[in-house]
Amino acid sequence: MPNFVPINQQLSITDLGTRLRDAIFVVVDLETTGGPPTEAGITEFGAVKVQGGQVIGEFATLVNPGVLIPPFIAALTGITNSLVATAPRLATVLPSFLEFARGSVLVAHNAPYDIGFLKGACLKLDHRWPGNHVIDTARLARITLHRDEVANCKLATLATYFRTDVAPTHRAFDDARATTDVLHRLLERVGDHGVETLEDLAAFTSRVSPTQRTKRHLAAGLPEAPGVYIFRDPQGEALYVGTSKNIRKRVRTYFTASETRRRMTQMIAIATSVDPIVCATVLEARIRELRLIAAKQPRYNQQSKRPERQSWLKLTAEVAPRLAIVREVRDDTADGACYLGPFKSSAAAQEASAALQLALPLRVCTTKLARKPRSTTAGCALAELGKCLAPCTATVDHLAYDNLVARVRSAMSGAVDPVTAAVQVRMRDLADQSRFEDAALWRDRLAHFLQASVRTHRLMMLAQVEQVVAAKTTPEGGWEVHCIRYGALAGAVTIDPGVEPLPVVEAMISTADHITAPAASKVASLTEESEAILAWLDSDGIRLVRSSAALALPIGCGGALLAQLGQVRGEIRAQEPVDYQWLAATARRKIVTRIA
């Protein structure tokens, strides 16, 4: 059954595209006893079924309401108690009408009244309301016609103005026929405004601003294909970059009542054009969107706009290394630096650092130290408490501190057991003291650390592989294939059903972008791009065509424990979701050598 969507609401994206000439309309009018709709006092049904401007069915019958018809209603409609005495009851008529209207768009003049009675009848007789789309010709007329054309939008006034073949008479069938003529005239009018589909009509009559309505032409001519769309201002500057499986359908939603974001309304008021970029696959469209946002910095994009706001936890490369929170990864891993991240905020990085330092307490001061300090003081308060080896003093045990640094580097490289063990002991001690909120705080710190560990090694797994070629079947039975080099998308192609895939794949690989190998601890692209690729690789139905190296994660990088924390908490309140099942199940993927 179709869902009921009032005309002042936008249909879902999946419903877009029903052309008016293909739609089946059932124009209905009811005569009633004048009571409330819940009483379902219907005395007459009149309905006309039309498609493409042609009548394809009619429905008309009197109904015995089971109650007396008030005299003033009888005088208005001419329907008397004696006239309906032998007419069928509503319980007989309603199922027949619902079947007549099945799958159609219901049309009525002042639709809330007639549709209200139909819903009341369904409720009273325990029938499920089928949920047809509804068009109100009165509302459509109020929007379409100018005040100097008609004095009001009553059915009789509109029938006279449009010179309908049948005049309304307060009898259901005559009024339905008159409403049908009015509907056709109104649809001719709105056609001049580019209204071609039911969804266009819903948008045209919805509560959208005049600016949105006048900008609808920006969607005209856009391709119905996956890709990226760019709203531009009069100077050609990018205002907003988005992506969709169907560019035209997505852009059209910006001019409907479904678009309620204030900043988007402001953007639409400025926009003068929309540029489409058709892509071979949805993943390619997502990657292009990320790159364009980072490059052009559109003022109305909020997400993916500031990659420089990411943070990393760094083990510094200096005489007495320490943990620091930094904004970028430098080419200093050969000197001993090590990175964990990126984090979406410095606060998340600080939480992960606290978990790491609980187990492996490196110095936290930022003072630049000499290899052989001359100070003979006892060091800072942390040193006095035994929580720092005090590498700032002349009495420091260099071997012990170097060993501590090596253990931190090992933990950041995938051996997280010392960190998890230390935090779990702290959580257990706090729980034994009934300090459950403090225990939960350490649990969250551990979750931040583990999630950063998993994220880091997933990214590095992809960034260190020169080339990965993977494929996934399309709903139509073809293939979408991507070539990934050092964590960046280098090529994409969609192969139609029935086409031999391997020659197309080889051609795509040969023309794919050249990607330079990144420095250690870096990816060759935006972090979000690599993560989008990883999400696609993790999706169901992926087949690896070839890979220049095995895709592997350190077994002890924390994925299994992270999954357990997620089960305890219900969710990991960290920066982004992780495929826990994939992480816990395996740290290595087999390479499928061909598409089969």
Q: Please report, for the domain that includes residue 268, its CATH number.
A: 3.40.1440.10
DSSP state of 53: T
Same domain, 280 and 143: no
Same domain, 56 and 182: yes
* 263, 289, 305 - which closes a domain: 305
Same domain, 171 and 93: yes
Same domain, 365 and 400: yes
Task: Compute the C-alpha angle 76/79/83, nearest 5°.
Answer: 160
Helix (H) or strand (E) run with residue 472 in it: strand 468-473
Residues with Cβ within 8 Å of residue 262, at least 6 apart in sequence: none
- Do the domain assignments include residue 582? no
* 145, 168, 201 - which closes a domain: 201
Q: How far apart are CA 203 and CA 205, in angstroms?
A: 5
- Residue 314 and residue 324 in contact, taking contact as beta carbons nearer than 8 Å: yes
- Residue 138 and residue 8 in contact, taking contact as beta carbons nearer than 8 Å: no
Residues with Cβ within 8 Å of residue 30, at least 6 apart in sequence: 42, 44, 45, 46, 114, 117, 118, 172
Q: How far apart are CA 5 and CA 12, in angstroms?
A: 9
Q: How many domains does the chain contain in total?
A: 3
Same domain, 233 and 147: no
Q: How far apart are CA 373 and CA 265, in angstroms?
A: 62
Helix (H) or strand (E) run with residue 127 in it: none
| Chunked mean pLDDT (size 10), the chain, 596 residues | 35 54 93 86 94 93 92 90 93 95 93 93 92 90 83 92 92 95 91 75 67 77 91 91 90 74 82 92 92 88 66 84 85 82 86 88 72 59 62 69 86 86 87 85 87 85 88 90 92 92 91 86 80 88 87 70 53 40 35 35
Confidence at residue 161, expressed as pLDDT on a 0 to 100 scale = 93
Same domain, 227 and 321: no
Same domain, 372 and 264: no
Alpha helices in 282-328 (DSSP H): 282-296
Compute CA distances 18 → 2, 8, 105, 129, 139, whole Å: 13, 17, 11, 22, 21
Confidence at residue 572, expressed as pLDDT on a 0 to 100 scale = 39
Active site includes 146? no
- Do the domain assignments include residue 436? yes
- Do the domain assignments include residue 559? no
Q: What are the b/e assignments for 330-342, b being 16+ CB within 10 Å?
A: eebbeeebbbbbb
* 256, 284, 305 - which closes a domain: 305
Same domain, 179 and 299: no
The answer to whether the peptide bond before residue 342 is cis (omega within 30 degrees of 0) is yes
- Do the domain assignments include residue 512? no
Confidence at residue 591, expressed as pLDDT on a 0 to 100 scale = 32
Same domain, 63 and 149: yes
- CATH number for the domain spanning 142: value is 3.30.420.10
- Do the domain assignments include residue 476? no
Confidence at residue 115, expressed as pLDDT on a 0 to 100 scale = 93
Straight-line distance from the first to the last Cα atom of the chain, in angstroms, rounded to the nearest whole number? 39
- Do the domain assignments include residue 229? yes
Same domain, 142 and 249: no
Tokens of 537: 């690789």
Q: How far apart are CA 469 and CA 547, in angstroms?
A: 6
Find the catalytic residue in 109, 127, 146, 170: 170
- Do the domain assignments include residue 220? yes
Compute CA distances 350 → 18, 346, 380, whole Å: 53, 6, 21
Same domain, 155 and 183: yes
Domain extent, residue 358, equals: 309-459
- Using only C-alpha atoms, the chain has a radius of gyration, in whole angstroms, of 34
- Do the domain assignments include residue 18? yes
Same domain, 344 and 384: yes
